Amino acid sequence: MKDREYVERERREYARRLVEIERASKADKLEAAAEFEKALTEHPWIIAERIGWLLTECYGWAEAEAANRVLAASKKANKKAMLFQQAGRLEWNCPAYYINKAWKGISAEAQAAVKELIDQEIAEYLEENPGWREEYNLGGER
């Protein structure tokens, strides 16, 4: 487990970053949304790759902790959607509203393809990181 002070500092910085993304200017939000939508429609594999980065601390410890908490959530949770949103926010600084809008703007076939890519990324992460629950102090399997 990480030092308590480090953990709290990382969590505060992550929360600050999410608020900053949501409070950005309209122009910045629209620019981020356009970049995210372009990635989603032209290079959907990048979204899944960024979810892998998210899970493996490439964005920071608190970001990875939040993503791993998503994986540890109940079976009823829409984990793919939650990780999709986190990746969109952290990589493209895109607010949640515009992430949802971009998702709804692609075809059902494209959505299925993105979901499959995300499933593959999650499966790869779980296979390569058997101790992920202990790393983030998430307890037993649900």
Contact (CB, 8 A) for 120 and 48: yes
pLDDT tens column, 73-128: 888 889 999 999 999 999 999 999 999 999 999 999 999 999 999 999 999 999 99
Residue in the block written with tokens 């990382």: 10
Provide the 10 A C-beta neighbour count for residue 32: 21
Residue 105: both structure tokens together: 């703007």
Q: Is the pLDDT of residue 140 over 70?
A: no
Give Rg (Cα) of the chain. 15
pLDDT band at 141 (very low <50, low <70, confident <90, very high): low
Q: Is the pLDDT of residue 142 over 60?
A: no
pLDDT tens column, 33-62: 999 999 999 999 999 999 999 999 999 999
Whole-angstrom distance, CA of residue 80 vs CA of residue 94: 17
Sketch the domain layout of the chain as residue ranges: 4-135
